[in-house]
Chain A
Amino acid sequence: SYELTQPLSVSVALGQTARITCGGNNIGSKNVHWYQQKPGQAPVLVIYRDSNRPSGIPERFSGSNSGNTATLTISRAQAGDEADYYCQVWDSSTVLFGGGTKLTVL
């Protein structure tokens, strides 16, 4: 079965750029979606179909997807970006989530 691999944690200095990866076999051939989840809250879609931002999501959030790795990039990181981030794909009529990455803003 298909699997998505994310680092458990990523740290970034305030104002710097954070990159969170999502690995999967030939993931570049799939649409990858990214979600932000803060404690006690429901997930929020921040990137859909690899690199598209829903309305209301800051331009600081961007995404890319190629080969075996998809990447969520958060530029000019702010304290409010500290959260868990999940990648997600559809595979054979099922929905798969990565294990999640905890982003810490230092």
Chain B
Amino acid sequence: VQLVETGGGLIQPGGSLRLSCAASGFTVSSDYMSWVRQAPGKGLEWVSIIYSDGSTSYADSMKGRFTISRDISRNTLYLQMSSLRAEDTAVYYCARGDDGRGIDYWGQGTLVTVSS
């Protein structure tokens, strides 16, 4: 199992960015996939989850600004982020897991910096 995030970078406040997470060794559509972020020097903060049935859930501060999705043909998870703010600056991790086994696989993370 491997998760590889891409798409991070420097973006101006108010801008948009799409993160990708390429999965291998398993099928993203058959599993629970989450995005978790970590601001510099801070703790882990859950962002969003997409369940195997395709339903989604978001942390309150991301609702309406972030959209999680997946591409079955590419076996890839996405996070579309819009109306970005300075406080969205963080390392964003793609992760797999559920309540039965915990979050058992994590990507290496991709850094998003929101700054003018």
Contact = CB atoms under 8 A, between A and B. Distances in A.
A93 B49 CA distance: 9
B72 interface: no
B108 A54 contact: no
A34 to B, nearest CB: 8
Contact of B57 (A33, A84, A94, A98): A94
A45 to B, nearest CB: 5
Contacts, number: 64
Contact of A96 (B46, B93, B102): B46
Contact of A45 (B103, B107, B109): B103
Contact of B103 (A88, A93, A99): A88
A33 to B, nearest CB: 3
Q: Dominant SS at the A interface?
A: strand
A43 B104 contact: no
Contacts of B44: 35, 37, 43, 86, 88, 97, 100
A31 interface: yes
Contacts of B25: none
Nearest to A54: B104
Contacts of A44: 106
Contact of B106 (A33, A43, A48): A43
